[in-house]
Amino acid sequence: MCGIFGFVTKSGATFEPDRVSEKLRHRGPDDEGWVVVNVDAGRYLEARGKDTIEYYKRFPHIKEVLDRGNLYMLSRRLSILDTSPSGHQPMKFGNLLLVFNGEIYNYLELRESLEGEGYVFETGTDTEVLLKAYHRWGKSFLDRLNGMFAFAIYDLKARKIFLARDRFGKKPIYYFLSGNHFAFASEIKALFELPDIRRSFNEMEVIRYLIYAENEVEENTIFEGIFRLPPSHYMEFDLNKWNLLKRRYYTIKLLEQAISFDSAKEKFLSLLKESIELRFRSDVKVGTSLSGGLDSSSIVYLASSLKTASNSYMSFSAVHPHAPKFDESKYIDIVVRDTGVKNYRIAPDKEFVRENLRKFVYHQEEPVSTLSPFSQFAVYSLPRKQGVIVLLDGQGGDEGLAGYLRYVPYYLRELLYSLKFVKFFKELIAFRNTNLNYREMFLRLAGMGLPQSMFFVLRGRQIFKRLPDYIPPPGRIRGNFRTLREKLLVDMEENIPVLLRYADKNSSAFSIEVRSPYLDYRLVEFMLSLPSAFKIHNGWTKYIARKAFEPFMNHEIVYRRDKLGFPFPQAMLVPEREYSSAIVASRILKSMNIKPPENVRHPLFWRLLNIALIEEVFQL
């Protein structure tokens, strides 16, 4: 994980490079590198900042050479592969300059292919592989990458900036474009330091978030004039024409194939093991976040048996002894006992909330739907204290294999549409016996036939004293789907990027990197291609995973009937009086005629508080 930034100007406007770099320092505390480009002359000059490592102190300071060019690129490095000075960025090759955030897990295989074509490598980094792969194959090289990435490559001859983001949106790119300036960055707060960027809310996106708890629909952010490059997209900025060209380079491929349940079970397990092994490629310590749920537990069980996992393999958890309903200590204890993995825990209390909630909002930048990611934030505060820089997590398993309760009604609807009435009633009865939230599931099924607009208007009346003249539409995730696969596919494309943003921002706050084995694109395509009956069967969600894990995982974990996943007991921990006053004081909420929330237990309390704290933290 690193932080990247770029800025090109036609007006000669100045900015404070130290302030920009400081805003991204947490993403890459190990090194700082700059390059200044004179676009017209086709020349560049390497520069240093205050955190540049000693080896490159010979470069002039960025402030001394700011007037030598009109394109500036910054890298803040978190050293993971080849931690020597040779991994310094921006990296150069031929006419290309690269700043890169992320990891290319199959870099060794790509390097071997490139060496076969005559390329010579001077470092052990995936950065050099990425740069030379682009040099060799051009844009099409994106199809060859297995990893998480956000990068920018400037071509000195073509005078174009090529930016790309990974398939599922694990690594971010935000950008801004005006008549005189184009800028991109890993985080919005770095863009706030530039001229022509005014800090203000995009009111339509505030409304969308308050009503739907959504804020990453299409390219808009919660801030006016700042956009995100969507996952699976690349973007070219042509400095000659001063325009942007965006293209989607990847869509999830559904593999229609006849396969038996047993064969599918074996292939699923094989793909997951291979994915975990790839994500252990690192020159620093690797650990795992452990909630006690099926996905994170499976990674610990599998990873602890790998030869690449040392005896000091560690896991990290959040527990809530003060709120037994939210506490998963029992299941964490089982995994630790069975695998021998070292486990470190945090129990967030009211003091932790007071000290860290605004920090959490600052690092997330945009709103989060619930306070659940705050528990993740707490967990990610632990690894670096134990020398662990890379963390595996279980993100993506639920969306790939229908792990959430909300997916069951879609499967039952699919059975009805397929006229499989006997199986429909069998599954309905089975879920009554196995699912602790059967009543909620049944209500979801009954409510699927009602118009969504009715719910949105009711929610709007809960929030606003007077409904806005226009309410933006929700994202595709709230669509009317006939099959389970359709719903899972949309969630993978629209919901997963939001969850990955939570993980990226939370982990970067503590200068660590998070990798998601369940989101290897080959595994995702395989999971989504499986028949629905392999995923939901006999009253169980994620059925094929449970059967695959049966031989080596504790059955209490495999057949857990409840599902939590880094829960946060909001009503018990948030100091209500203190935060209610923040909501009342918010200028944006006042201007929108918001109804004050009744108390901290109100389901909309956090959404209103989140907007109020963003306004406060970023001084909007």
Q: How far apart are CA 620 and CA 614, in angstroms?
A: 8
136 has which bridge partners? none
Within 213-349, where are the H helices?
Answer: 261-278, 294-303, 329-339
Q: How far apart are CA 139 and CA 392, in angstroms?
A: 29
Q: Are residues 262 and 407 in contact, defined by beta-carbon separation less than 8 angstroms?
A: no
The residue with tokens 């169980």 is: 540
Comma-separated ranges of CATH 3.40.50.620 domains in the chain? 261-401+487-570
Q: Are residues 201 and 215 in contact, defined by beta-carbon separation less than 8 angstroms?
A: no
Q: How far apart are CA 518 and CA 547, in angstroms?
A: 17
Tell me, what's the pLDDT at 442? 63
254: helix, strand or coil: coil
Q: Are residues 507 and 391 in contact, defined by beta-carbon separation less than 8 angstroms?
A: yes
Neighbours of 64 (CB within 10 A): 12
> Can you read off the two tokens belonging to residue 133?
């792969």
Nearest in space to 230 (alpha carbons), one of 523, 501, 618, 506:
501
Nearest in space to 460 (alpha carbons), one of 602, 576, 593:
593
> Can you read off the two tokens belonging to residue 549?
């894990």
Tens digit of each residue's pLDDT (9 = 90 or more) over 437-446: 666 666 666 5
Cβ contacts of 56 within 8 Å, gap of 6 or more? 31, 33, 46, 48, 85, 88
> Can you read off the two tokens belonging to residue 131?
């740069």
Q: Are residues 98 and 91 in contact, defined by beta-carbon separation less than 8 angstroms?
A: yes
Cβ contacts of 559 within 8 Å, gap of 6 or more? 540, 546
Nearest in space to 529 (alpha carbons), one of 254, 271, 262:
254
Comma-separated ranges of CATH 3.60.20.10 domains in the chain? 3-248
Instruction: Please report, as a single letter, which amino acid is at residue 398.
Output: D
Q: How far apart are CA 578 and CA 234, in angstroms?
A: 44
CA distances in angstroms from 481 to 64, 86, 260, 335, 407, listed in the order given? 58, 51, 26, 37, 11
| pLDDT < 70 positions in the chain | 1, 307-311, 434-454, 563-567, 572-573, 575-576, 598-599
286 has which bridge partners? 390
Tell me, what's the pLDDT at 430? 86
81: helix, strand or coil: coil
Tell me, what's the pLDDT at 588? 95
Q: Does the domain made of 3-248 have the CATH classification 3.60.20.10? A: yes
71 has which bridge partners? 8, 37
Q: How far apart are CA 269 and CA 257, in angstroms?
A: 18
Cβ contacts of 590 within 8 Å, gap of 6 or more? none
Q: Which helix (H) or strand (E) holds 237?
A: strand 233-238
Return the CATH superfamily for domain 261-401+487-570: HUPs (3.40.50.620)
pTM of the model: 0.94
Neighbours of 368 (CB within 10 A): 25
Q: How far apart are CA 331 and CA 182, in angstroms?
A: 49
Tell me, what's the pLDDT at 552? 94
Burial (CB count <10 Å: 0-12, 13-18, 19+), residue 525? middle
Q: How far apart are CA 69 and CA 7, in angstroms?
A: 11
The tally of CA atoms less than 13 A away on the side-chain side of residue 495 is 20
Cβ contacts of 478 within 8 Å, gap of 6 or more? 212, 452
